[in-house]
Amino acid sequence: MELYKVEKMLESRGITSESLANIVYENQITHNPELVQTDAYMAVGEVMANPIVQDYIFTMLLLDELVENNHVDSKYQSLASKIANDDPMFGVDEHLAFGIASLYGTIATTNYGYEDRMKRGIIGELDQDKEHINTFADDLAGAIIAAAASVLANEQLKVG
């Protein structure tokens, strides 16, 4: 799938490459003072270009949209309710996000946990948005950020 289509799908939920790259940059600048914003933006693009990550992106956004638009069969209403209310005992959203992070190693999985807890920038905005269902979207944003930070960290390790 073209990266452009992935970006448009994310933008439809309020997630821009720039909003992700800003947090990646904040995350990594203390570890690499020579880092520039463009590096973070390119790392986000690299993660979003991964076909496996794209499948996660589409699946996670689809689940939020199906529930938000009431397109869930009545036999799954209890599950839809958990998603709609971002039930703290419903961990599927975090598990899917962790799946993305795990593709990029321990740096990404550690960073994902941090981003999920801190809810900086777009992650917090999605989490606090009461007009839309973002149960999966906020975790998705955190996972992309964590994976992109890992890409940069691993590049730094190769150089250093």
How far apart CA 41 and CA 30 sit, in angstroms, is 17
Listed residue (126, 98, 132, 125) closest to 114, CA to CA: 98
Dist CA 78 CA 51 (whole Å): 31
* Tokens coding 156: 């730094």
Residue 159: the pLDDT is: 65
pLDDT at res. 156 = 82
At residue 6, what is the residue type? V
- The pLDDT-based confidence of 157 (bands split at 50, 70, 90) is confident
Q: What is the pLDDT of residue 41?
A: 98
pTM: 0.96
Residues 6+ apart with CB under 8 A from 102: 108, 109
Supply the pLDDT for residue 46. 98
Residue-wise pLDDT for 47-104, tens only, equals 999 999 999 999 999 999 999 999 999 999 999 999 999 999 999 999 999 999 999 9
| Angle, helices 92-102/137-159, rounded to nearest 10 degrees | 20
| CATH numeric code, 3-159 | 1.10.3760.10
Of the chain, the percentage scoring pLDDT greater than 70 comes to: 99
Written as one letter, the residue type at 151 is V
Q: Which tokens sit at 83?
A: 């998603």
Q: Where are the domains of the chain?
A: 3-159
pLDDT in tens, 94-152: 999 999 999 999 999 999 999 999 999 999 999 999 999 999 999 999 999 999 999 99
Both tokens of residue 73? 């069969």
